[in-house]
Amino acid sequence: MNIHSYEKLWLIASMVLIVGFIATITYGAVGLGITMVGDDEPTIEPGELSDDERFGEPRVEQVGENEYEAYVVAQTFIFQPDVIEVPANSEVTFYVTARDVIHSFSVVGTNVNTMVIPGEVSEMTVEFDEPGEYGVVCNEYCGSDHHNMEGQLHVIP
Ligand code: CUA
């Protein structure tokens, strides 16, 4: 066995572990009545995202005077929309799902940080008071270009 095969073996072993942990957390927690990911959101077919009312066209929608909803799709190796634009002094609810594999949606410098799982919708509400520009990154290893997977969040004046 050469080094490359060992590497592969470890990679597979760690993947199995990761999937196992996630399964434990996601399903174990639901069993205990604690909810981790999108438990009040219906599941969706990742293959049918293009036809989905919310995720067919990833976007930001105004739903109240200062309230917005952002529908975001994560996929290898981009976020859609790649620039999320919301006004300052707004309350934004993010709905994020994944098209292919597990990603995360993490807005650098804020407490917005959620795992994004195909078929599930992660939801979180955040207030943005000040204008600013944030990077959006993926914290879950998702493939060869994981480290380049990034988007932007602009809070405009
Ligand atoms: Cu997407 Cu890492």
pLDDT in tens, 44-65: 888 889 899 999 999 999 999 9
Ligand 1 touching residue 138 (CB < 6 A): yes
Which residues have C-beta within 8 Å of that of residue 89, sequence separation ≥ 6? 66, 128, 129
Closest Cα partner for 96 from 76, 68, 75? 75
Amino acid 145 reads D
Which atom from ligand 1 is nearest to the alpha carbon of 141? 2
Q: pLDDT band for position 1 (50/70/90)?
A: low
> Residue 31: pLDDT above 50?
no
- Residue 79, ligand 1, Cβ within 6 A: no
- pLDDT of residue 13 exceeding 70, the answer is yes
pLDDT (0 to 100) of residue 22: 64
Q: Ligand 1 centroid to 115 CA: how many Å?
A: 10
